Amino acid sequence: MTDSTIQLVSQLTNIPSPTGNTQTIMTWLHDFLIQHGYQPTFNRKGSLIVTVPGQDTNQARFVTAHVDTLGAMVRQIKPDGRIKLDLIGGFKYNAIEGEYCTIHTQSGKEITGTILMHQTSVHVYADAGTAERNQTNMEIRLDEKVTNADETKALGIQVGDFISFDPRTVITETGFIKSRHLDDKVSVAILLQILVELAKTKTSLPYTTHFFFSNNEEIGYGGNSNIDENVVEYLAVDMGAMGDDQQTDEYSASICVKDASGPYHLGLRQHLVQLCENETIPYQLDIYPFYGSDASAAMRAGADVRHALVGAGIDASHAYERTHITSIEATERLVRAYLHSPMSE
């Protein structure tokens, strides 16, 4: 079902959903799940929960992926009519330099622009290449005829308006998916595809499973609530981090053994590894040094569960990201195998 999953990835990445402004994508998810026979519910924070009854109703699983993405807000309308940004999520200004973006105004009007250094022109600024990429120096050039703050305000733009980044989703003939926001819309697509399969085949899972689509993960508290008291295991499906000293690649499922919050549950990790071995699923074990997940947020909130984190390997995380179809397929196979397996010990 990888082709269907890739189509879902493309659809999802093209729905703007910066943390704090996720109503559109959550409505899309709600309608999608209704169409496939589910009865999803929203919590007060706007996250979406789908419960699939299992053969064992005394023990349950909790599986999450997050729809919210990196983004920004209007921090200030500058005297020349350009926009100063305030970042949402953990990324650096250099990761968005030159990116197309959209400002979502209070009235619903959308205004496009480009994120640039103030000192962009090498013909004018001697420090165009050396000036720090920071909040002071970076700005949005609007695709509107504005020369001062009043003209920008007249468009309906105000402080606090959300800013989303153009995903530029491309699927190459060689099987790579290049896009912003693969973190974590690849995982959302995987969970949706599995839910579609369960509905079509009327397959019964061994345990009642709560699928939780969170909308605040990028700011640290997406999936730390609404955990039923019968939940024994919590699996976060999120991106695998790639870089120096990392084993994660774009062709395997990544199983996180430790992130910035500390080690993940050893027994559940070993269970996932054994599933990969049994099913011949390519995988890598890894430590993500500057990372937190919905599962780690749940642990900080005091959840009494065994927790784990798996995901597709994503290159250039929190920038213009990339993965390969084989990594998505491996992760989907692992999650599917897990959902049909006995509880870990």
Per the annotation, binding residues for Zn(2+) are: 66, 183, 218, 238, 318
C-alpha 190/C-alpha 137 separation (Å) is 39
| Cα→Cα distances 117→132, 146, 262, 319, Å | 9, 18, 37, 17
Binding-site positions read 66, 183, 218, 238, 318
Residue 194 to residue 38: CA distance in whole angstroms = 13
Q: Look up residue 191 and give its two tokens.
A: 């969970």
315: DSSP letter: B
Residues 99, 217, 250, 332: which is the catalytic one? 217
What DSSP character marks residue 96?
G
Under a CB-based contact definition with an 8 Å cutoff, are residues 52 and 235 in contact? no
**Whose CA is closest to 214, among 185, 254, 240?**
185
SS3 132: coil
Radius of gyration of the chain (CA): 21
- Three-state secondary structure call for residue 10: helix
Give the SS3 label for residue 295.
helix
Beta bridge partners of 241: 314
The number of C-alpha atoms within 13 Å of 129 and in the hemisphere containing its C-beta is 2
Contact 226, 298 (CB under 8 A): no
Q: Are 334 and 253 in contact (CB under 8 A)?
A: yes
Q: Which amino acid type is present at position 123?
A: H
Report whether 140 contacts 152 (CB < 8 A).
no
Peptide bond into 184 cis (omega under 30): yes
217 is catalytic: yes
Closest CA to 9 of 204, 161, 191: 191
Give catalytic residues, as residue numbers. 217
